[in-house]
Amino acid sequence: MSYDPASFNPCTFHDAVPRFIDGSDTPRAFLERCLEVIAAREPVVQAWVTINEAGARAAADAATARYKAGRPLSAIDGMPIGIKDMLQTKDMPTEQGTPLLKGTETKADSASVLALRQAGAVILGKTVTTELGMSHPGPTTNPFNADHTPGGSSSGSAAAIGAAMVPAALGTQVVGSIIRPAGFCANTAIKPTFGAIHRGERLAFSQSHIGVHAGCLEDMWAVAFEMSQRSGGDPGHPGLYGEVTPHRATQPRRLIVMEAEGWAQTDSQTMGAFERVLGQLKDAGVTILRRGDNPLIERFEQAIGDSLALCRDICGYELRWTLENLIDRYGSGLSDSMMSRLDLAQSMSIDDYRVVLLRREEARRALAAIGGLADGLISLSSVGPAPLMENKAKDSGVTHTTGLPAFNAATSLLGCPAITLPLMAVGGLPVGVQVIGQAHTDAALTGIAAWLRAHVAPVVA
């Protein structure tokens, strides 16, 4: 099925809640509708590793009883949610996209998953991830064209939303693993401020984020908010600020175009569509600033100009010990892509690592320096629509089989919030547009996103 933003109808939950309250619908019936869509589309999309139908039905029945009694636990009580298979679940295996961990049972919930259960959410199943959340792909296909990738590493989460299987799913991102696949699959998604949602066992990475893929802004934000209210942020971090509903729609006065490394690699059709989006903003009275308009913006672009390589080195160095332990235990079984990452990491010294951390801090200072110039930044979520499944894009010594994260590495490096919206269609496939803010402005960023959703007509190219 080709993507048409005018007719695409994602699965949404917030608008069903009034019917749960008046008794004309129930969380159990909502879940059954999700399962029907999964049964119809999963043979091709292959978004799921495991589905716990019995556990989901029991949780949906409990939510139905709470609504009947007038005592729902939260705004997401009864919401079916997919969990990226990098995150632990006490009732399902956590295999992390590698056959080496097939059937691994941790018997524990990640902090985010536990928070969701406490909020009454229905943990439906585990969604496909690339190998160890890096580059080597799983079986998932793009829900709008099975010949194309859904992106990665949150492949299954993005595809499950794009296929209208569930209203929300969790993803993780250390480079581009939430925002890029979300853009490829017509999701609304957030990579929040670094540390705003407790990462649980993912704390081993110094820039790993927990985020949310969803069919709409309201569900995306409610899931993120309810998790942070219960599990808090990472240790030493204040968590996610805001209220349970997104910030009121707010027109930005000025937005800075973030070029990053993706600008030179974006195809002309995608770039033309993005310029049409910017044209609509200008027509509505938003001032668009570019790197030539202010020396601080130029300095910022210079500071993030090598983000892919910096992310490669930071993440590779931090992943090294995990990979060496897997090799020591199993001997083999990691992909060539993962082994190339290990080779790069093993060539780094502790001083090399200190240098890249210093450069990351310099980039973060450059972002802070432009904070007073505009209400946020705007950029593409990817260099174009989802590439074919056999894509082998290479950059900075790493092969990216699920699309090049050239517009994502910078925001991961910076630790700032980013929200992608399905505002473009290029060649029959979705392409996302992301808005980006300063640290801890996540709630205000939802207000800008809400305004964009209401005032920017999706561009078809």
pLDDT in tens, 170-181: 999 999 999 999
DSSP state of 89: B
**Inside any domain, residue 118:** yes
**Inside any domain, residue 348:** no
Whole-Å CA distances, 42 to 162, 390, 446: 12, 21, 31
Query: How would residue 455 be classed by pLDDT, with cut points 50, 70 and 90?
Result: very high
Report, as an integer, the average pLDDT of 18-38. Answer: 98
**Inside any domain, residue 106:** yes
CA distance 458 to 461: 10
Convert the pLDDT of each residue in 190-227 to its tens digit: 999 999 999 999 888 999 999 999 999 999 999 999 99
pLDDT score, position 390 = 82
Phi, psi of 215 (to 5 degrees): -85, -15
Report, as an integer, the average pLDDT of 142-161. Answer: 98
Within 10 angstroms of residue 354's Cβ, the number of other Cβ atoms is: 10
**Inside any domain, residue 210:** yes
**Inside any domain, residue 161:** yes
Per 3-state DSSP, what percentage of the chain is helix, strand, and coil (rounded to 5)?
A: 45, 15, 40
CA distance 183 to 65: 36
**Gap between the terminal Cα atoms of the chain:** 17
- 295 in the Ramachandran plot: left (φ > 0), alpha (ψ -120 to 50) or beta? alpha
Structural domain boundaries, residue 225:
14-231
**Inside any domain, residue 380:** no
Strands 287-289 and 393-395: unpaired
Q: Which helix (H) or strand (E) holds 218?
A: helix 217-231
Q: What's the CATH number where 111 sits?
A: 3.90.1300.10
**Inside any domain, residue 392:** no
CA distance 63 to 445: 31
Return the percentage of the chain with pLDDT > 70, whole number: 98
Query: How would residue 163 be classed by pLDDT, with cut points 50, 70 and 90?
Result: very high
**Inside any domain, residue 25:** yes
Q: How many domains is the chain partitioned into structurally?
A: 1
Convert the pLDDT of each residue in 359-403 to its tens digit: 999 999 999 999 999 999 999 999 999 999 987 776 666 777 899
Convert the pLDDT of each residue in 235-292 to its tens digit: 999 999 999 999 999 999 999 999 999 999 999 999 999 999 999 999 999 999 999 9
What pTM was computed for the model? 0.97
